Amino acid sequence: MPLRGVEAAERPFAVVDLHVDLVYRHLYKGQPFASGLGEFRAAALEGVGVVGVVLPLFVPEWASPIGARRQDYEGAYAAAYERILETPPYALPGCGVHQAGAARSRPVQTWFAFEGAAHLEPKTEELASWILRGVRSFGLVHTKHNALGSSSGSSPGSRPGLTPKGREVVEKIQGLGGLVDVSHASDAATDEILDRAAESRSIVIATHSNARALAAHPRNLTDAQIRAIGRSGGVIGVNFHQPFLSGSGRASLKDVVAQVLHIRRVAGVEHVAIGSDFEGGIRPVPELADASRYQALAAALLEAGLTRREVSLVMGENALRVLCGPFFSRRGDDRNGPP
């Protein structure tokens, strides 16, 4: 009788990764878009089950004067759009690849996200334009506090929670059906976003964060926050970076499985996803060193007792639910392209 893990390898699970830093790696570190550091190489995606990836748009402060940040994000978007066009197997932002009867010649669907969004103004037209062009999630902050709110990477006492402008931006994004991403947000900002989401019945996600109960890092989420994300209908993308997986800073595939099981217990299996943080300068667990290894996680989850249906949810279906829900499906394939 074959091991359940072997059975998984024979029938790859569909994988959607909520956070891969290919755009940053290409635009600001000079790596080819098709290969990056090698963690998410286009040539290695065939046959390993990858059907979708969220590509964050992040413009570092050193590369962009404050007054030019909006234009620089437009430039990053246009450059990423062009790279997707010319790099098989990627498909342009949208959900068309996953609709019935869609062509499979470009089988890896893409979406964009903002990681640090201080350039945004609380203007409905501007935010709607980004959403319609494939920006699905909005992380307000990155490693430092900014004009929208406080970061988990900065001193917590200096600027707690959201700023007035940040509250306006969150309200507009949620009103348009966009997804606010609390990865990198401070506890105060995360709690405020979740409270507002509960009032507006909006989905909140954490694209690449883990459970603090298993690894006491400020980038990780408390159980109360995990529970609230689940109540919103959102998902938590489990991050493969070793310091976010284990308090010792050294981790293995078992620690990734433990994170999945913990979030499943706290919020429900419908709210666990993958957010590897590949190409972001991370130290991934050895067993999940690159995108060719995703199915090792699926096999390990089966061995840990999850059903095939539960593993399908974790590996990709939960992410697709929030990325391609009714709001976005009504808008087709997002063919608007760069301005």
- The string of pLDDT tens digits covering residues 151-177 is 988 665 556 899 999 999 999 999 999
Q: 151 phi and psi, to 5 degrees?
A: -105, 150
Range with the lowest mean pLDDT among 101-110, 174-183, 202-211?
A: 101-110
d(Cα 75, Cα 256) in Å, to the nearest integer? 35
CA torsion, ordered 26, 153, 212, 309, to nearest 10 deg: -30
Is a pLDDT exceeding 70 seen at residue 339? no
Quote the pLDDT of residue 158.
Answer: 58
Q: What percentage of residues in the chain have a pLDDT greater than 70? A: 86
Q: Among 132, 130, 54, 116, which residue's Cα sits nearest to residue 323?
A: 54
Quote the pLDDT of residue 332.
Answer: 36
Quote the pLDDT of residue 102.
Answer: 44
d(Cα 25, Cα 28) in Å, to the nearest integer? 6
Is a pLDDT exceeding 70 seen at residue 101? no
- The string of pLDDT tens digits covering residues 7-28 is 444 679 999 999 999 999 999 8
Is a pLDDT exceeding 90 seen at residue 330? no
Give the relative orientation of helices 69-86 and 22-29 as an angle to the nearest 10 degrees: 110
Q: What percentage of residues in the chain have a pLDDT greater than 90? A: 76
**Residues in Cβ contact with 121 at an 8 Å cutoff, skipping those fewer than 6 apart:** 169
What ranges do the domains of the chain cover? 4-326
Residue count (the chain): 339
Quote the pLDDT of residue 338.
Answer: 42
* Topology adopted by domain 4-326: TIM Barrel (3.20.20)
Query: Strand, helix or coil at 50?
Result: strand
Is a pLDDT exceeding 80 seen at residue 253? yes
Is a pLDDT exceeding 70 seen at residue 183? yes
Pairing between β-strand 236-238 and β-strand 272-274 as defined by DSSP bridges: parallel
- In the structure encoding, which two tokens stand for residue 190, read together? 């995360």
- In the structure encoding, which two tokens stand for residue 63, read together? 């590369």
Instruction: Give 309: exposed, middle or buried? Use CB within 10 Å, 0-12, 13-18, 19+.
Output: exposed
Point out which residues pair with 237 in neighbouring strands: 273
**Residues in Cβ contact with 161 at an 8 Å cutoff, skipping those fewer than 6 apart:** 149, 150, 186, 188, 189, 191, 192
Handedness of CA 119, 120, 125, 129 (dihedral sign): positive
- The string of pLDDT tens digits covering residues 19-68 is 999 999 999 899 999 999 999 999 989 889 999 999 999 887 766 665 56
- Highest average pLDDT, of 90-94, 193-197, 329-333, comes from 193-197
Q: What is the DSSP string of 278-290?
A: BTSS--B-GGGSS
- DSSP H or E segment with residue 73: helix 69-86
Is a pLDDT exceeding 90 seen at residue 144? no
Measuring CA to CA, how many Å separate 113 from each of 101, 272, 337? 27, 19, 15
- DSSP H or E segment with residue 204: strand 204-205
With residues binned 3-state (H G I as helix, E B as strand, rest as coil), the percentages for the chain, rounded to 5, are 45, 15, 40
Instruction: Give 267: exposed, middle or buried? Use CB within 10 Å, 0-12, 13-18, 19+.
Output: buried
Place of tokens 């310091």: 243
Range with the lowest mean pLDDT among 99-108, 159-168, 182-191, 207-216?
A: 99-108
Is a pLDDT exceeding 90 seen at residue 255? yes
